[in-house]
Amino acid sequence: MLLLGLGLLLHRLIIRRLARLQASADQLAAGNYEARASSSGSDEICQLAGSFDRMAEAVQARDQQLVRLSHYDPLTGLPNRMLLEDRLDLALALSLRQSTHGALLLVNIDRFKMLNDARGHSLGDALLIAVGGRLFGLLRDGDTLARLGADEFAILLQGLHGHRETASNGALAVAQKVHADLRLPFILSGKEEITLTASIGVTLCPDGGNDSAREVLRRANTALHRAKEAGGHQTAFFETGMGEAAEQRFHVERELRKAIAAGELRLYLQPQVDDRGRRVGAEALVRWQHPERGLLPPGAFIGIAEESSLIIDVGGWVLAQACQLMARETMAGRPLRISVNISPRQFRQEDFVPWVKEVLAASGADPTHLTLEVTEGLVIDNVSDVVAKMSELTALGIHFSIDDFGTGYSSLAYLKRLPIDELKIDKTFIQDAPNDPGDAAVVETILSVARHMHLKVVAEGVETEEQARYLRQLANITYQGYLFGRPDAAETWLERWRAVDAH
């Protein structure tokens, strides 16, 4: 009987310990990663409980790691978009209870992608970490700094003020500090110093109505877009009406995407003539034959295309059409030189050079009849890359022109490294040059630079005889403008100039 009693007691103890182990396993399965089955002793059940606890600790550590990865940026360790939205919702609720305002600032590093591509991703990553550290130093207790993307940070300010104007001024003061701090040199890779600028979009939160985190982010993003449109290194505060303007841009972008596929773009040409009015070439331009709004000029859609990848498609279409036209005219015994604008976004594509070669090969156009126009801004972004691409294309016989020369910041040190053939004087200097000493000085300086560098010159926007006479007195150049011919549909333009050539 004694042995039977001891057996029953041991059975109950074992069952009870196994039940505790089962309960711990059930808690772990239910998501309670702190559940443990610790048991003193050294028998098999204690060893099993110890193994269970070690497994539970590993599961808990892995879960904590997953939570961190889902809420924090792995590079900078800052909160990510998901965590920012959570904190925004909490901040909105707190502001409503306390009758105060908060603010959200979206900070986008200007031209970071170009710097990253030019200097390497390791330096880019180091720079982002340094930017995060510097911005974090501007925060007060309770504020949040998050990283939303490759070059975009967000600053959530809480408890600014109950009065809207005072809160707005507080947010703008922080934006000014951001601009100032980013302009201080970042010292990376030993002695290398890099200074940055940023575009900043600001909105209050809450700002009337039933705000949500996503609505606040949308407003801040709209304001950021406006700051970028202003050229960067700017702060834009969200204003009523910005949302409608942004929606209109998105609408045009959607329509333009369809227009490219539907064949609604039209090639236009504007003549370039010598000082005797003889045609020496043409510039290729684009119009949009909208099914409802009629023929749209470039100003109605090119800016929107530039902001998106659509400019690559639009620019590609123009180059292909121009090359096909040149090839056709050459085969007919009427060689035609055409200049085509290349957007910075197009030029920076890794496959830009092989793409141009492919277009030329497919069309059969003579490369020596093609001039590619690029802007000054492109030149200073990454000189080595620009020179390499230009050199490869000039080896084929393609010519390069700096468009709107005088409006950017390029220097002679940059220019002399470029394999260019031509400078185009911007029309803003031409318009008043005959009567404005300042514009005249700019025009004459450009002509002097071109003469010393053995470059051709095209004067854009020549609209009056007075402007033409003034320019003829200075140099032998090429003219483009309404005085010598307005842009016209390519086929109509060709017919007109064939008639002129026949006489």
First to last CA, the chain: 133
- Domains 81-240 and 249-502 fall in the same CATH topology: no
Which pairs count as long-range contacts for 36-43, CB under 8 Å and 24+ apart, including other chains?
Answer: none
- Specify the pLDDT at position 229: 76
- The domain segmentation of the chain, as residue ranges, is 81-240, 249-502
**Mean of the pLDDT values across residues 408-433?**
82
Confidence at residue 30, expressed as pLDDT on a 0 to 100 scale: 60
The 3 state secondary structure assigned to 74-96 is CCCCCECHHHHHHHHHHHHHHHH
* Cβ atoms of 256 and 300 closer than 8 Å: no
- pLDDT digit string (tens) for 72-84? 999 999 999 999 9
Both tokens of 306, joined, read 């530039």
Query: What mean pLDDT do residues 462-481 have?
Result: 95
Give the length of the chain: 503
For residue 105, is pLDDT > 70? Answer: yes
Return the amino acid letter for 487.
Answer: P
**Structure token pair of residue 472:** 């003829």
d(CA 256, CA 302): 10
Q: State yes or no: pLDDT of 290 exceeds 80.
A: yes
Average pLDDT of every residue of the chain: 85
In CATH, the number for domain 249-502 is 3.20.20.450
**Calpha distance 430→24 (Å, rounded):** 84
Domain 81-240 has CATH 3.30.70.270: yes
The C-alpha atoms of residue 423 and residue 412 are separated, in whole angstroms, by 12
* pTM of this structure: 0.61
Render pLDDT for 189-217 as a digit per residue (tens, 0 to 9): 666 678 888 999 999 988 766 788 899 99
